[in-house]
Amino acid sequence: MLSSVSLGWRIESAPDVLSTGAAECPRGRITEIIGPRSSGRTSFLQSILAASTRLGEFAVLVDATDSFDPCTAAAAGVALDKIIWIRCAGNVEHAMRAADLVIQSGGFGVVALDLAEAAESGLNRIPATTWFRWRRSVEATPTVLAVVANRPLTKSCSALLIEMKRKRAIFTGNLLRGAEYEIAPRKPIGKEGKALHCMAV
């Protein structure tokens, strides 16, 4: 009997996914979340971290601009005791090297690299080969590599590219009650968008 293995073919099965409330992030792939300020990027990232830590996995957040807020993350369901928070004080190069070390180390459910609000000069210096290398590094692992940025950085290396859009802020009288965002998947093509409601109180 001929089998695909004996012929040297590698069957590419659909990757395992990490289901968050907002989307399904493929494991062993790069998920990129882009959007302008107040578009829900952080809410989406927190939902990924919450989904992973809820399963008992450990996650790493490489925070290029020291912008992480543990209070709202805990309120979103992130188990803070399962997170390693690496603060890079605005240094993109340090963030990339730290993320590289973490990815090579392995064993994490989610490795999140938050490059939103990072200096454009630093982002422009990231070699394109880095993303290809990371794509290969996480390929055979159960890790979701999530990259948050203002604009697409990973190009063809991401398996899931989500563009977050502002929809509306919900003010009731003298109170900010929440915000509504739109999740627009740009990759893979053909996926329908969703609305993400985040309530403040």
| Long-range CB pairs of 21-25, under 8 A, 24+ apart, other chains included | 21/47, 21/51, 22/47, 22/183, 22/194, 22/196, 23/160, 23/162, 23/183, 23/185, 23/194, 25/144, 25/146, 25/160
Nearer to other proteins, 30 or 179 (CB): 179
Check the CA dihedral 105-114-70-187 and report its sign. Answer: negative
Phi, psi of 167 (to 5 degrees): -110, -65
| Residue 89 lies near other proteins (rule: CB under 8 A) | yes
Residue closer to other proteins (CB basis): 75 or 128: 75
Binder of other proteins out of 25, 145, 146, 179 (CB under 8 A): 179
Does position 134 interact with other proteins (CB under 8 A)? The reply is no
Can you name the residues that pair with 59 across neighbouring β-strands? Answer: 83, 110
| Residue 49 interacts with other proteins (CB under 8 A): yes or no | no
Q: Encode 69-82 in three state secondary structure.
A: CHHHHHHCCCCHHH
**Residue 174 touches other proteins, criterion: CB under 8 A:** yes
Does 16 participate in binding other proteins (rule CB under 8 A)?
no
| Interacting residue with other proteins among 15, 58, 152, 187 (CB under 8 A) | 58
Distance in Å, CB of 177 to other proteins, minimum: 9
**Binding footprint of other proteins on the chain (CB under 8 A):** 36-43, 46, 55-58, 65-76, 80-81, 83-89, 91, 94, 97-98, 101-102, 104-109, 116-117, 142, 166, 168-169, 171, 174-176, 178-179, 198-201
